[in-house]
Structure 1
Amino acid sequence: MSKKRILLTHPLYHLASGRYADKFELKTLDLNAFQTSENPQQYLLNEVNEFKPHALYFIGFMMKFTHAKNTPKPIVNDHFFNNLVYKDLKLISNNGAGYDQVDARAAKKHSVIVTNTPDVVSDCTADLTLHLILSCARRSTEFEQRLRNGEWQGSKAIFGIDLKNKVLGIVGMGSIGKEVAKRALPFGMKIIYHQRSKSKEFPDDYYRASLDELLHESDFVSLHVPLNENTKHLINKNNLCKMKKDSYLINTSRGPVVNESDLVDALKEGKTLSGAGLDVFEFEPNVHKELLNIPNVTLLPHIGTQTIDTRRSMEKLCWDNIENVIEEESKGLTVVNEQK
């Protein structure tokens, strides 16, 4: 019996591919060729049609790092599925909690299961969120820059703030938001959160039904929502002005959740925001040039899950899903588009 075929859009870094090569026929996409292609979607489609995989091991974030100006988003969409020349594709195993580069509804229409890696990213992303909160509070980016410039503390004194008794507003109390809250409470922070419904894990008085209400009350606003048509530019000029004076915006979710130009304007005006901590950007890998020169803005290159432990766990869960669906003919372990 011939082996089932798995196409990898990205090499394995933390798991030995040999154990999977014994079970499956593997092929890894030429990442450089994909990223420099004039039409990345068509390049991926050609590779899939040629190799005819039963599963696609998919890392969505790398799809953004292309030179094509008009790359469809999501790149795996109804057009993609309609142009498959075979019907063996059963699974897209997405390496990452976010799967905005895959149209899960279109996949379901074509009977393709989509899985992701949700809970395994929660701890490390929450850790990084606290790092950004602390960096903003203690103005560590400014102090470090002064030190690197040979200024010690600099000629003009600047002061940070304590976290104790500060209000942390969490937008999206999913698995990551919950871990952020658990980490912030021992610092003496007060937690409030906003989402569509209350969480049973936190007291009722933590909940804010209105986003505006949360923005108005919070000293720190931390974003933990998926990217979709409802959350794109969730934070914009219309509500940035409603944030508390001397507050901070933290984003470790997805870049387009924030209108980056509006954020720059708010930071430059300085009427509400005192700073920001950003691990994601609207047009990454490009960063708004003015963000680079605004004091007390900590910028990181999308490293929320970039630890050896977490990346190994993510890869393992991806392959557990592949084995579950392709070998065991089951429904998948962490499915985002339940099949009928």
Structure 2
Amino acid sequence: MNIVVLDGKLLNPGDVDWGPVETLGNLKVYDNSSPEQVAGRAAEADIILTNKVPLRRPLLADLPRVRMVGVLATGYDVVDIDAFAERGIPVCNVVAYGVNDVAQHVFALLLELCRRTSAHTDSIRSGQWTARGEWCYWLHTPVCLEGQTLGLVGFGNIGRRVGELANAFGMNVLASCRTPKHPPTYAPFAFATLDQVLTRCEVISLHCPLTPETRELINRKRLAKMKRGAILLNTARGPLVNEADVAEALHSGQLGGYGADVMVSEPPAADNPLFHTPNTLLTPHMAWATVRARQNIINLTAENIRRWQNGTPVNVVNAPLGQ
């Protein structure tokens, strides 16, 4: 069985092990693939694995052997799942591979926005503390999270873990999701509507998938509903926000801070409006990138393949006809 990885370099630059997948077939790993290269590289593939290389309907005619697609991530918007379903080809993703990793990154962004540790370190190194001659100073008044309310938009594995961490910091937690169920045991917690989250929370963190309904979920209209000075965090998908509207809200002070690990275009254009906004932290889609999380992706992908080979597929995000 031929297994082709279309873009394996970022997942494994050499510090994790492809072994669990290699034992299941003839594995060929490409560092990256342009859309024009996919047909040639995957023409003999029984299993195609992709992270960010798009697999769209027109490609199917050039992939006569493919029988399974694995997405090396949780989000699967890079694959036309309906087109593959029509061919009876399951598309499987990996879930819960880096829950703690991403949740910790959320709080890395939040705490930096609240405490500005990097800015103060830079000021000390530039001689400001020495020049001031006082035992203490601050460039930005620090913010305490205890007693503030965190709003979660989306309450899957990562959203739930972020809520647990927020509770440990003494925050109140509200969660907006499509199907509220299994409330956590900690308090104070409540399920809420999106409007309630927007209007009642000092911090809002996005954890929902990117769909036609959630694209630009956060826009000028919804930003205006938020508490003035609230902090917005996005470690889910860049297009959940309208970046120009977020930039405007940061300049006006309607938003007190924005922390994002994802952007609408990755990499972003040089003229992205968020490059010149105050109180903004941007990281290059790296929350998932710990060694632990990346090895988990490979291990879980191998398990997806093994289960499919055994006739008991798991983590199937489409519904192949005939299954």
Superposed CA offset, 1:225-272 (max 9, x none): 1111111111011111111011100000001111111111110111x2
Evaluate the alpha carbon distance shift between residue 319 and residue 123 of structure 1 in structure 2; reply closer, same or farther with a 3 A threshold: same
Q: What SS is found at the alignment partner of 1:202?
A: coil
Structure 2, unaligned stretches of length 5 or more? 133-137
CA contact (8 A) 1:97 1:121 kept: no
Note closer, same or farther for the CA distance 1:291–1:152 as it changes in structure 2 (3 Å cut).
farther
Among candidates 237, 243, 247, match of residue 230 of structure 2: 247
Q: Does 1:306 align with 2:294?
A: no
Q: CA deviation at 1:151?
A: 3.7
- The corresponding residue for 1:137 is 114
Structure 1: gaps of 5 or more residues: 35-39, 64-74
The verdict on how the C-alpha distance between 1:153 and 1:295 changes in structure 2, with shifts beyond 3 A counting, is farther
- 11-20 or 131-140, which moves further after superposition? 11-20
Pick the aligned partner of 1:323 from 306, 310, 318.
306
Deviation, 1:147, is 4.2
Report if the CA contact (8 A) 2:217-2:241 is conserved: yes
Q: Distance in 2 between matches of 1:292 and 1:335?
A: 38
Q: Which residue of 1 aligns with 2:56?
A: 77
The question of whether the paired residues in 2 share the 8 Å contact of 1:142 and 1:296 is answered with: no
Q: CA deviation at 1:19?
A: 6.1
Secondary structure of 1:102's counterpart equals coil
- In the TM superposition, residue 181 of structure 1 has moved relative to its aligned partner by 0.3
Which SS does the other structure have where 1:170 is aligned? strand
Q: Distance in 2 between matches of 1:292 and 1:315?
A: 34
The question of whether the paired residues in 2 share the 8 Å contact of 1:248 and 1:273 is answered with yes
Alignment of 1:134-173 (within 5 A): 134-147=111-124, 149-152=126-129, 157-173=139-155
Inter-CA distance 253–22: structure 2 relative to 1 (3 Å threshold): closer
Compared CA separation, residues 22 and 273, structure 1 to 2 (3 A): closer
Q: For residue 14 of structure 1, report the CA deviation from its aligned partner.
A: 4.7
- Taking structure 1 as reference, are residues 205 and 176 closer, same or farther at Cα in structure 2, changes over 3 Å only? closer
Counterpart-to-counterpart distance in 2, 1:149 and 1:257 = 38
For structure 1, which segment, 8-17 or 168-177, has the greater mean C-alpha deviation from structure 2 after superposition? 8-17
Out of 100, 117, 132, the position equivalent to 2:94 is: 117
TM-score (ref. length: structure 1): 0.84
CA distance in 2, matches of 1:291, 1:150: 29
Deviations for 1:113-144, whole angstroms, at most 9, x for unmatched residues? 11111112211111111111111111334334
Q: Does the 8 Å contact 2:113/2:257 carry over to 1?
A: yes
Equivalent position to 1:297, from 280, 287, 291: 280
Equivalent position amino acid for 2:112 in 1: S
The structure 1 segments of at least 4 consecutive aligned residues displaced by more than 3 Å after TM superposition are 11-23, 144-157, 202-205, 287-290
Q: For 1:5, which of 2, 5, 15 is the aligned residue? A: 2
Q: Secondary structure at the residue paired with 1:206?
A: strand
CA contact (8 A) 1:126 1:179 kept: yes
1:206 deviates by 0.9
Paired with 1:237 and 1:20, the residues of 2 have a C-alpha distance of: 45
1:66 corresponds in structure 2 to none
Q: What is the letter of the counterpart of residue 249 of structure 2?
A: A
The equivalent position to 1:104 in structure 2, one of 62, 81, 94, is 81
**Displacement of 1:10 after TM fit?**
2.8
Paired letter, 2:176: H
Q: How many equivalent residue pairs?
A: 309
* Alpha-carbon distance in structure 2 between the residues aligned to 1:178 and 1:18: 32
Cα RMSD between the aligned structures?
A: 2.3
1:335 match: 316
Query: How do residues 167-246 of structure 1 correspond to structure 2 at under 5 angstroms?
Result: 167-202=149-184, 206-209=190-193, 211-246=194-229
Take 1:268 and 1:99, find their aligned partners in 2: how far apart are those partners? 34
- Give, in whole Å, the separation in 1 of the partners of 2:167 and 2:51: 33
